[in-house]
Each structure stands twice: as C-alpha cells, then as structure tokens.
Amino acid sequence: MRFTGPSGVRFKEVRVTDDAAAFNPSAADDHGALLEACARGERQALQQLYALEGSRLLGVVARIVGDRGIAEDIIHDAFVNIWNKAHTFDATRGSGKTWIFSVARHLALNHVRTRHREVTVDDETADRLDAERAQEAETDMQDHFDWLGHGDLDRCLAQLAPERRNCLFHAYVDGFSHPEIATRMDRPLGTVKAWIKRSLAALRECLS
C-alpha cells in the first residue's frame, strides 16, 4: 500500500500505527512549512495546523487548566498568537511542532499560575509539616505515567527513580506547581523542589 501526500509526493510503505508521525513521515517538517505559509498570510495553512494538532493541543491545555471552556479559550488565543507571530518562528532553532505546543502550553501555564495565587505558610509551619510527611511517607515505586516510548529522553528518564519521574510529569503534563506536586506525592515541599532541580540536572548530565 502506498500513501500520497498533499503535494503529490509518494511516501514509501509504512506500517500504520497509532503514531501519526510514523503514518506520515514528513509530518514533523510539515509544521514548520505551514508556519512559514502562515507568515505569508495563508489562512489555509493555519487551518491545516488546526486540523493536525487542534485536538492534541486542546487535550494538553485542558489537562493543565482542568476546564474545557477555558481550555478552548486558550486554544483560540494560541491560534491567534500562532498566526500573529508565525513570522518569528525560526526553523533553525527548533521544529514547528515544538513551537506551537509551547505557545499553547505556556498560555495555559500562565493562566493557572495567575489565577491560583500560591498559598504560602510560614517557615516554621512548613518545617513541621515537612518533618511529619517525611516520617509518614513510604517510597512510591509506581510510575504514575506511561512515559516510555515517546522521545529521546527515555534513556535518561529511565535512570531516575519512579518517584522523581512522577514529579517531573505531574509538573509537565498536569501543570502542577511545587506545592501541588508535594500534596499529590505526599512528600515535603522542600524534598519535591530539590528532587525536581536534581532530576533536571541529572537529565542534562545524561544527555551531554
């Protein structure tokens, strides 16, 4: 079986999987080309980006903001932003797909961080709560996310303890703040902050 791309280019036979990128080998590069077309004022290109990624972007944003209506507002703003700023996209600095996901994700993160003022407790209370939690907590060996098989970071993520991977993904996927992660993981806030900082450093080390 052969597939014909939008421009009539024929792709070699590929196995059909859930992964759209595998289905269409040029998908990753298409996003950059579509952004360049947006910068030239071609609305059809924006519509194609919307058709390609709209539901995935909405899934990512809805997970972070926790409200379908607000998530749609953010996707509206994200696509207007993508249209207005397409000329600033620089293909030499990253893929178009990464660019549009980061536009939408950061709008969602700015929304939840601005809307929910962080609850702070005084240092003494925080220390006491931390000490209690540290004593009670058992080691959580279970992964909360089915993370394997998605990206080049797999090899390095595998070197982290499951608990630490959970912290990273509760932040990246759920959009949780440090205190929210501490609550979800039932771990002291200071521990969670230190874990995340060290995990990021360990990932950089592993990649270098």
Minimum gap (Å) between residue 12 Cβ and another protein: 23
Minimum gap (Å) between residue 203 Cβ and another protein: 8
Which is nearer to another protein, 56 or 129 (by Cβ)?
56
Minimum gap (Å) between residue 14 Cβ and another protein: 18
Which is nearer to another protein, 4 or 208 (by Cβ)?
208
Classify residue 111 as exposed, middle or buried by CB count within 10 Å of its CB (0-12, 13-18, 19+).
Answer: buried
Cα–Cα dist 202/153, whole Å: 11
Phi, psi angle pair for 147, to nearest 5°: -90, -20
Minimum gap (Å) between residue 135 Cβ and another protein: 25
**CB proximity list for 36: less than 8 A, separation 6 or greater:** 86, 89, 91
Minimum gap (Å) between residue 49 Cβ and another protein: 11
Which is nearer to another protein, 7 or 92 (by Cβ)?
92
Which is nearer to another protein, 53 or 133 (by Cβ)?
53
Which is nearer to another protein, 80 or 161 (by Cβ)?
80
What are the tokens at 171? 């932040």
